[in-house]
Amino acid sequence: MGGDHGPSVILPACRAFLAAHPAARLLLVGRPEDLAPAAGWERCTLVAAKEVVAMDDPIEVALRRKKDSSMRVATAIRAPVLPADTQASAAGGSSLMAVARYLLKTLDGIDRPAIATVLPNEHDGGTTVLDLGANVDCTADHLLQFAVMGSALVAAVDGKDNPSVGLLNIGEEAIKGSETIKQAGELLRSASAHGMLNFYGNVEGNDIFKGTTDIVVCDGFVGNVALKTSEGLASMLSKFVKQEFTRNPLTKIAALVALPVLRHLQKRVDHRRYNGAALLGLRGLVFKSHGSADAFAFEQALNRAYDAARNGLLDRVHDRIAEALAAAPVAPTPAKPDESTASDAALTA
């Protein structure tokens, strides 16, 4: 029921996903009248939910008032009677994170869940970046936890056993950056020395798209800006390609000659291919799709969620955290009520 388009986009994406994955099974949660077109689909179960959390609903409404919402019912489906290995949703990020954190709880050793997704790089692959908006203000300990969780994600989904981690900074030198970034760098270097992860060092914004490291760690404010900037650039490129075919006969001819290259570049930077951000640090797998996603983009979010469940992402994150705590315990820093997107007051209400 989530996103800008709801079932009109979600259902075609689900149908395509089922066709591509014969071993998969879907539980579709929402209002029965909206899910009616999916009645009778093979390997598909319809789960009724009377309410819907709107994109502009405050977090308190999602948590306290709409207890039979599709978001809440879908997040709670972990019972043996009707189990779900993973969840994908195009709902609003703040409400989804709040409900998921409230119902699923965080893993031991994790203070804050983080949002992680892939941004395209020049190696025809992707760089995993986290956090992308769940936590605006982060301590050095939080950034270390993000690095551990990001390493588990890349190892599980991309099959890289020892992925490299970069700390986003205003320069590569260890002396640069805020005090929090400097402290995080020290923690990451120590963690790397103890074999907890593979720390490359400080990286800059352009390193995300260069593919300098497999993972880039930053706070949610910086990460969200980087995400939206990359999406804006991809959208601008797409419009540029279309405009070149409509200007005048000469540009049309030039564009036709360059069409294969332009199309390939357009495909590589198409943010829809990388849709599906993982909410890491929870006792369950939850993936967030862009609210504006079309059917193709939401299918990619389903693919990422499916791959994560199939490759045991939750167990890998748990194991990595346990190993990290055993190797170099870090005292967690208590979170202030206003530091997280979803306030502690709302989460405990």
Residue 128 — very low, low, confident or very high, per pLDDT cuts 50/70/90? Answer: very high
Per the structure block, which two tokens stand in for 27?
């539980």
In residues, how long is the chain? 349
Highest average pLDDT, of 9-23, 78-92, 170-184, 283-297, comes from: 9-23
The set of residues, in sequence order, having a beta carbon less than 8 Å from that of 164 and lying 6+ positions away, is: 198, 199, 200, 213, 214, 215
Determine the Cα–Cα distance for residues 348 and 341; give it in Å rounded to an integer: 14
Cα dihedral 299, 305, 309, 310, rounded to 10, equals: 40
Give CA separation, 332 vs 85, 115, 187, in Å: 29, 19, 13
Per the structure block, which two tokens stand in for 78?
């972990």
Domain 7-348, classified CATH 3.10.130.10, yes or no? no
Q: Report whether pLDDT(3) > 70.
A: yes
Dump pLDDT digits (tens) for 79-98: 665 668 999 999 888 899 99
CA 279 from centre of chain: 6
> Which residue from 198, 129, 188 is spatially nearest to 163, judged by alpha carbons?
198
Q: Report whether pLDDT(103) > 80.
A: yes
Determine the Cα–Cα distance for residues 144 and 147; give it in Å rounded to an integer: 5
Q: Which residue has the tokens 């990619």?
A: 300
The pLDDT value given to residue 80: 61
Residue type, 221: F
Neighbour-count burial of 275, counting CB atoms closer than 10 A to its CB (0-12 exposed, 13-18 middle, 19+ buried):
buried
What is the rounded average pLDDT for all residues in the chain?
85
Among residues of the chain, what percentage have pLDDT more than 70? 83
Highest average pLDDT, of 123-127, 155-159, 169-173, comes from: 169-173
The pLDDT value given to residue 41: 95
> Which residue from 124, 139, 137, 1 is spatially nearest to 69, judged by alpha carbons?
1
Computed on alpha carbons and rounded to an integer, the radius of gyration of the chain in Å comes to 21
CA angle (174, 176, 180) in 5-degree steps = 90
The pLDDT value given to residue 78: 72
The pLDDT value given to residue 206: 92
Q: Delimit the domains of the chain by residue range.
A: 7-348
Q: Report whether pLDDT(184) > 90.
A: yes
CA angle (211, 90, 109) in 5-degree steps = 65
Average pLDDT over residues 234-247: 66
> Which residue from 105, 140, 111 is spatially nearest to 314, judged by alpha carbons?
105
Alpha helices (H) in the chain, listed in sequence order: 7-20, 32-35, 59-60, 70-76, 93-104, 140-157, 179-193, 205-210, 220-243, 249-257, 259-268, 295-310, 313-327, 344-348
Q: Report whether pLDDT(71) > 90.
A: yes
Per the structure block, which two tokens stand in for 135?
């936590």
10 Å Cβ neighbour count for 281?
Answer: 29
For 17, what's the count of Cα atoms within 13 Å in the CB-facing half-sphere?
27
The pLDDT value given to residue 164: 97
Strands (E) in 68-217, as ranges, are 86-89, 114-120, 126-130, 164-168, 198-203, 215-217
